[in-house]
Amino acid sequence: MSTRLTGALAILVILLVGCNEDPTKGWSSKSIFTSQVKTVSVPIVQNSTQYREIGFLLTDAVIKEIEARTPWMVTYSSRADTVLTMTITDVQLQTISLSNVTGLNEEVVVSLTIDFSWDDLETNQPIFARKGFSAGGLFVPSQPSGETLQVGQFQVVQQMASDIVDEMAASW
């Protein structure tokens, strides 16, 4: 019984000594998200490309990612501490490989490029901004997969939303 207690105490001491107060300087039990922000407003993404639905998909994905991975609540701009504005600047389809038999696309990447800014509404100062921020999503339109363009769009939007929230965490 005493060896178990000694082992548990040794693990506890190692964990406490090994943890750092600042999460940016090593292992820490503190959140990587700032407590200065409580709420975020996420307006619908501005989009001037021919892929209209991707802006709505990105808005929805970013909101869900913020709510799932951060302590912040997404709300209306009139109630928010901060606002995350995004603009889609480019959507490209890039062929990765062609079929030797048919000459048709076998693998295609949907590339999404955006500019975004996270601003503090109290001070009207930017917390951070990124231009030309990109992500990609692969889909396989050839048989037997026969995936549609929407599969690639879904993948790129999910990746972009995850990357944006990562940037929000890293900004502190």
pLDDT tens sequence for the chain (172 residues): 567 778 777 776 666 665 555 555 555 555 556 567 899 999 999 998 999 899 999 999 999 999 999 999 999 989 999 999 999 999 999 988 877 777 777 888 999 999 999 999 999 899 999 999 999 998 888 888 888 889 999 999 999 999 999 998 886 6
Pairing of strands 125-139, 73-74: unpaired
| pLDDT score, position 95 | 86
What domains sit in the chain, N to C, each tagged with a CATH number? 38-170 (3.40.50.10610)
Instruction: Judge whether 70 and 165 are in contact, CB under 8 Å.
Output: yes
Instruction: Judge whether 74 and 66 are in contact, CB under 8 Å.
Output: yes
| pLDDT score, position 98 | 77
Q: What is the pTM of this model?
A: 0.77
| pLDDT score, position 104 | 75
| pLDDT score, position 172 | 60
Please give the full DSSP string across 94-133, using - where no structure is assigned: EEEEE-TTT--EEEEEEEEEEEEEEEETTTTEEEEEEEEE
Instruction: Judge whether 34 and 40 are in contact, CB under 8 Å.
Output: no
